[in-house]
Structure 1
Amino acid sequence: MYNKVKWPLTLYFDGDCPLCAREIRLLRRHAAAQRLLFVDISSGEFDATTLGFTFGQMQSLLHARFADGHWVTGLDATLWSWRAAGLGFWATPLTWRALRPLLEVGYRLFCRLRPALAWLPHPDGGRRCVDNRCAVPESKPSPKEAPGLKTKQN
């Protein structure tokens, strides 16, 4: 797959996504800074165009970039981020050829449903609370609705 790994791996994640935030919390607890860096694409300072992407593209699936500039996305970004955190044995099924097509379908389904999961409890509840008022963020457009993404038309 990728023989000479150039650490660190920079993982671009959506910090507004409750499930994503939980996974990132786990990875942060285990990862060494010289192997795994994190960039929250929901941050106001993040600009996807500096990387050659639109925000919709970055949000449509997980992206990660090695120090040498090599990009991995989707399940591969998940696999390599878990490896970078020293938890690769948990992601080993992602490498199984027989299981991979099923996992790809599951991942694509999750990506389509993910914006609708904003109602789930966020591990950092304080992110949603300002002046003693808490709110669930508006759902972001699904990849199908995100500008700049090509989708299959019926």
Structure 2
Amino acid sequence: MKLIIFYDSSCPLCIEEMRQLQKHNNQQQLSFEDILASDFNQRFPYISITDASTVLHGLYFPEPQQSPQLLLGLDVTYLAWRSIGKKRWIALLRWPIIRFFAD
């Protein structure tokens, strides 16, 4: 499993969350891409910078041979923290009734 998280390096909250995730990313299952990088559009033409600056985007690769899945918002946050074994409580935000309000 691999997850690419697209974050905004001009957002202090985003930077802090990415820093926390990187600190626990011992298996290197997460990678981080700054949507403000000068070559971002060339490397990820299918990710809208405008959309990604509004809602967190992630590309999830369940298996090496499978096509990636685009995840948005709390789905990215949940999968990121789950993959490093931290903040298990975030799973509550994905429960159907809570998900509606959390999203």
Q: Name the TM-score, length of structure 2 as normaliser.
A: 0.81
* Greater Rg over alpha carbons, structure: 1
Contact 1:10/1:66 (<8 A) preserved: yes
Structure 2 residue corresponding to 1:44, chosen from 29, 38, 42? 38
Contact 1:13/1:62 (<8 A) preserved: yes
Gaps of 5+ in 1: 1-6, 105-154
Structure 2 residue corresponding to 1:25, chosen from 9, 16, 19? 19
For the structure 1 residues 90 and 30, does the alpha-carbon distance in structure 2 shift closer, same or farther, using more than 3 Å as the test? farther
Alignment partner of 1:60 is 2:31: no
Amino acid at match of 1:102: F
- The structure carrying a bigger strand percent of its residues is 2
Give the root-mean-square deviation of aligned CA atoms.
Answer: 1.9
Q: With CA pairs under 8 Å and 6+ residues apart, which has the higher RCO, 1 or 2?
A: 2
CA distance in 2, matches of 1:48, 1:85: 29
Alignment partner of 1:16 is 2:10: yes
Q: Name the TM-score, length of structure 1 as normaliser.
A: 0.57
Q: CA deviation at 1:93?
A: 1.8
Moved over 4 A (4+): none
CA distance in 2, matches of 1:11, 1:71: 10
Amino acid at match of 1:9: L
Q: Secondary structure, in 3 states, of the residue corresponding to 1:32?
A: coil
Gaps of 5+ in 2: none
Query: Where does residue 86 of structure 2 map in the other structure?
Result: 87
Alignment partner of 1:35 is 2:34: no
Number of aligned pairs? 98
How many percent of aligned residue pairs carry the same amino acid?
30
